[in-house]
Structure 1
Amino acid sequence: MRMTMLMGVMTGALMLSACGTSDASSYDGGTVVLRNLAETEVAAPKPARLDIVGDLIPTPSDTRSDYYLLRHRTTLAGTSIAIIRQEHDDRVAYARTEVDCGRRLFHVVGVASTRGRVESDVAHDGPLRSISGLPLREELARYVCDRSGTPLAGA
């Protein structure tokens, strides 16, 4: 009986580890580091042609990379979910983010090497939290909020 339980626990752990978890090198103390995501094992070589060009997001705090908003939607709770692509040199990475525009909160829901895979990835970035002191997250949040029709609340 004990061996059967142990096997069940081990099988469950293996299944969870195979389901869309992301490379630990893209994390910093439980927070996904968006600034260098395209430099981690999460990223992939940039294809010759991208299916969705996206809208370039102004990010003065990170001039080494280009960030593109590919799509966004508003949730029933009033937050915005956005798919963002980071391009750095010849590599790309995708992030699915959630933004609470009225409360200035942000977190990464998923990261992946393709747009399709980012939809199902779980980034373990923690709960929505303040963007105070995080200029890149603030720039991304401001753009997503403006596009969703709910401007980012003042600091």
Structure 2
Amino acid sequence: MAAWVMKAAALAGALAASACSGGAPGSDTADEGNRVSLRNLTESEVASSAADREFRLKGTLVPTPSDTRSRHFLLRERRTITGNIVAILREERGDKVAYARTEVDCARRLFHVLGVGPSRASAEVATTYDGPLRPITGLPLREELASFICERSGTPLAKA
């Protein structure tokens, strides 16, 4: 069993590393260092086939006008001891699906990705270094996701 745990941890690390990418300023992939691209997660090696569309956890469709190619679903959210919100998201595009665990500071308008994976369970245990919580200004997809997550948790996103 210990070998299985080590293999799962290595796979999660490899999947998380493959989801990190740089991008153009003003996009949801731009950063001084690494940033997980939520806009293109289904195009990364993290994504899996979504042939079986009978997801156990349906989630709530998040309106994302800045990303018309993908559908983003909020599966669950919970408040941390610090008051931030940790949310599990699913991105669907075509026949691919990928999951992300994110953290949002609604009062300070900060966001980052904690883990990604081909399944909800793998995203919940994966550790992705997406950097510290960062401002969402100029990142429309992250702002749309943060706004929805904060509203659902009962703590509206602070005004810009």
Shorter-chain TM band: 0.7 to 0.9
- Which residue, out of 106, 118, 134, partners 1:101? 106
Contact 1:23–1:41, Cα closer than 8 Å, also in 2: no
Corresponding residue pairs, total: 142
Q: Secondary structure of 2:12's match?
A: coil
| 1:68 aligned partner | 73
Unaligned residue ranges in structure 1 (runs of 5+): 1-13
Larger radius of gyration: 1
1:35 aligns with 2:39: yes
Given the alignment of the two structures, is residue 111 of structure 1 paired with residue 104 of structure 2, yes or no? no
Alignment partner for residue 12 of structure 2, among 16, 20, 24?
Answer: 20
Identity of aligned residues (%): 55
State the superposition RMSD in angstroms: 1.7
- Given that residues 97 and 108 in structure 1 are in contact (C-alpha distance below 8 angstroms), is that contact kept between their aligned partners in structure 2? yes
- Name the structure 2 match of 1:140: 145
Q: Structure 1 length normalisation: TM-score? A: 0.87
**In 2, Cα distance between equivalents of 1:84 and 1:45:** 16
Which residues of structure 2 form unaligned runs of 5+?
1-5, 23-33
Q: Does 1:124 align with 2:117?
A: no
Q: Is the 8 A contact 2:16 2:117 kept in 1?
A: no
User: Aligned match of 1:44 in 44, 48, 54?
Assistant: 48
- How far has the Cα of 1:49 moved from its partner? 1.2
Gap change, CA 1:19 and 1:89, over 3 Å in 2: closer
Which residue number in structure 2 is paired with residue 8 of structure 1? Answer: none
Q: Displacement, 1:24?
A: 3.5
User: Contact (CA 8 Å) 2:77, 2:86: kept in 1 or not?
Assistant: yes
Structure 1 residue 92 corresponds to structure 2 residue 92: no
Residues 16 and 115 in structure 2, CA contact (< 8 A), matched pair in contact too:
no
What TM-score results when the alignment is normalised by the length of structure 2? 0.84
Give the secondary structure class of the aligned counterpart of 2:150.
helix
SS at match of 2:100: strand
Which whole-Å CA distance do the structure 2 matches of 1:111 and 1:78 have between them?
Answer: 22
